[in-house]
């Protein structure tokens, strides 16, 4: 899961994962037979047995498996390779009115690594228990999604259904490591532009029941720390640019930004999830003494933390620039640190000129 957690920022809709037990209604005595059958469950198991875990995902086998499945459904297939060895598989079910904006269903090919010795069953065996549970890395996140797309199409086709709009399925690599060589390249491509996407669905959260939960305006959390340094001094003197004074000035700037966003919500022009929220979560300063804090010392450092949530349409680079230039300007001896999740990996950055160079760095060092 993702973006840069959600790289599909163009339309950040996400689909909750159906509980895989939807497919698992057969009894234990039928299992050996089922393994040999061509069913949604066996398709799912076959996909799970292809090891697409990092750091060496087998994209070739995954793509050839999914391509064969798609061809058995009569879907058009196209393999795009923006970076060598990182295929994007694009499947298309033409609609009866292809001039309408299309529907895009996305799923990622890769999964996070597994530690087999800690598993009850080999994480790439797709072992199915008598109760119908399947053990496999990537089962929920998110190979069940790709199989559900394909099986839903199989089901609809068996009923002779033809969609009005063209439906595309994109199967992308490297989502778990930021998607830089996968979805990020795909959405910038001419091929993507040509799809005329009007609506997209991506993975979401697993659901313990049978319901589908669809989310939109899913925001990206950033943990932001700003630090101020200043001249330490006696509490009796007024200095210019002390650390706490510096920090307070920044807190006021952050508060004004917060108000500008909150005002839109209060005026009924947007929902909470449609604006960038920022809330102070801690303030840290002071020289510790035996009974609390020294009351006659101005500290040389002060720090504040904020919970920041970016909307799908927020430009992360613009937000970073705002933090660097307005919330923690170096000219006032301020610094900042931002932490967020890239895939399932916690990433932090300080004073980097570009989010992309940061992402590239983490990919290079093997996160
Ligand atoms: Zn995922």
Residue 89 belongs to domain with CATH number? 3.40.630.10
Tell me, in angstroms, the distance from the centre of ligand 1 to residue 109's CA. 9
User: Can you give the pLDDT at residue 60?
Assistant: 98
Closest among 260, 257, 227, 252 to 319, alpha carbons compared: 257
Boundaries of domain holding 92: 9-215
- Kindly state whether residues 177 and 224 are assigned to the same domain: no
Please state whether 192 falls in left (phi above 0), alpha (psi between -120 and 50) or beta: alpha
Q: For residue 307, give every residue at least 6 positions away whose Cβ sits within 8 Å of its Cβ, in sequence order, or none.
A: 221, 223, 224, 277, 278, 279, 281
Any known ligand binding at 203? yes
- Listed residue (220, 247, 239, 266) closest to 336, CA to CA: 247
pLDDT at position 358 is 44
Structure pTM? Answer: 0.64
pLDDT of residue 312: 85
pLDDT score of 351: 52
Residues with active-site annotation: 110, 175
User: Cα(141) to centroid of ligand 1, in Å?
Assistant: 4
Q: What are 233's strand-pairing partners? A: 298
DSSP states of 218-252 = --EEEEEEEEEE---EETTS--SS-HHHHHHHHHH
**Ligand 1 centre from 110 Cα, in Å?**
8
- Measured distance CA(230)–CA(47) in Å, rounded: 58
Same domain, 177 and 309: no
- Bridge partner residues of 72 (DSSP): none
Same domain, 194 and 257: no
Q: How far is the CA of 140 from the centre of ligand 1 (A)?
A: 8
83 found inside a domain? yes
Are 233 and 120 contained in the same domain? no
Ligand 1: centre distance to CA 243 (Å): 42
The reply to whether 141 sits in an annotated binding site is: yes
Domain boundary among 170, 194, 215: 215
How do the pLDDT tens digits run along the chain, 367 residues long? 544 344 443 333 344 333 333 333 334 444 555 556 889 999 999 999 999 999 999 999 999 999 999 999 999 999 999 999 999 999 999 999 999 999 999 999 999 999 999 999 999 999 999 999 999 999 999 999 999 999 999 999 999 999 999 999 999 999 998 899 999 999 999 999 999 999 999 987 777 788 887 877 678 889 999 999 998 889 999 988 899 999 999 999 999 999 999 999 999 999 888 899 999 999 999 999 999 999 999 999 999 999 999 998 899 999 999 999 999 999 999 999 998 876 555 667 765 434 444 443 333 333 2
* Partners of 310 in beta bridges: 220
Q: Residues with Cβ < 8 Å from 154, sequence gap 6 or more? A: 40, 73
For residues 243 and 318, give the distance between their C-alpha atoms in angstroms, rounded to a whole number.
26
Rounded Cα distance between 204 and 270, Å, is: 23
What's the structural domain count of the chain? 2
- Same domain membership, residue 152 and residue 273: no
Residue 2's pLDDT is: 45
Length of the chain (residues):
367
Residue ending a domain, among 185, 215, 245, is 215
pLDDT score at 272: 85
Same domain membership, residue 115 and residue 47: yes
Q: Is residue 4 part of a domain?
A: no
């Amino acid at each position: 899961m993702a973006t840069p957690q959600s790289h599909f920022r163009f339309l950040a809709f996400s689909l909750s994962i159906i509980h895989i037990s939807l497919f698992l209604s057969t009894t234990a005595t039928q299992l050996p037979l089922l393994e040999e059958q061509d069913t949604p469950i066996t398709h799912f198991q076959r996909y799970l047995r292809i090891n697409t875990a990092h750091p060496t995902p087998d994209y070739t086998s995954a793509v050839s498996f999914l391509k064969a499945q798609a061809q058995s459904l009569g879907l058009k297939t196209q393999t795009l390779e923006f970076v060598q060895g990182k295929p994007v598989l694009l499947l298309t079910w033409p609609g009866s009115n292809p001039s309408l904006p299309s529907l895009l269903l996305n799923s990622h090919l890769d999964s996070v690594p597994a530690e087999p010795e800690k598993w009850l069953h080999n994480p790439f065996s797709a072992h199915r228990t008598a109760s119908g549970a399947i053990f496999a890395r990537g089962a929920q996140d998110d190979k069940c999604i790709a199989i559900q797309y394909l099986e839903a199409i199989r089901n609809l086709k068996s009923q002779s259904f033809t969609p009005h709009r063209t439906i595309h399925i994109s199967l992308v690599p490297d989502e778990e490591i930021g998607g830089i060589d996968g979805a990020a390249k795909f959405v910038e491509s001419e091929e993507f532009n040509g799809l005329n996407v009007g609506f997209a669905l991506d993975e979401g959260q697993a659901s313990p029941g049978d319901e589908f939960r669809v989310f939109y305006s899913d925001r990206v959390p950033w943990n932001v720390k700003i630090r101020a340094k200043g001249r330490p001094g006696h509490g009796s003197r007024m200095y210019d640019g002390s650390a706490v004074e510096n920090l307070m000035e920044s807190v006021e700037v952050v508060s004004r930004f917060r108000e500008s966003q909150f005002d839109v919500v209060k005026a009924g022009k947007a929902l909470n999830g449609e604006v960038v929220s920022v809330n102070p979560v801690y303030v840290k300063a002071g020289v510790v003494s035996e009974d609390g804090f020294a009351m006659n010392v101005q500290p040389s450092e002060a720090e504040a933390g904020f919970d920041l949530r970016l909307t799908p349409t927020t430009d992360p680079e613009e937000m970073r620039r705002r933090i660097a230039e307005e919330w923690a300007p170096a000219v006032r001896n301020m610094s900042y640190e931002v932490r967020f999740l890239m895939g399932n990996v916690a990433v932090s950055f300080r004073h980097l000129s570009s989010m992309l160079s940061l992402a590239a760095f983490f990919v290079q060092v093997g996160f």
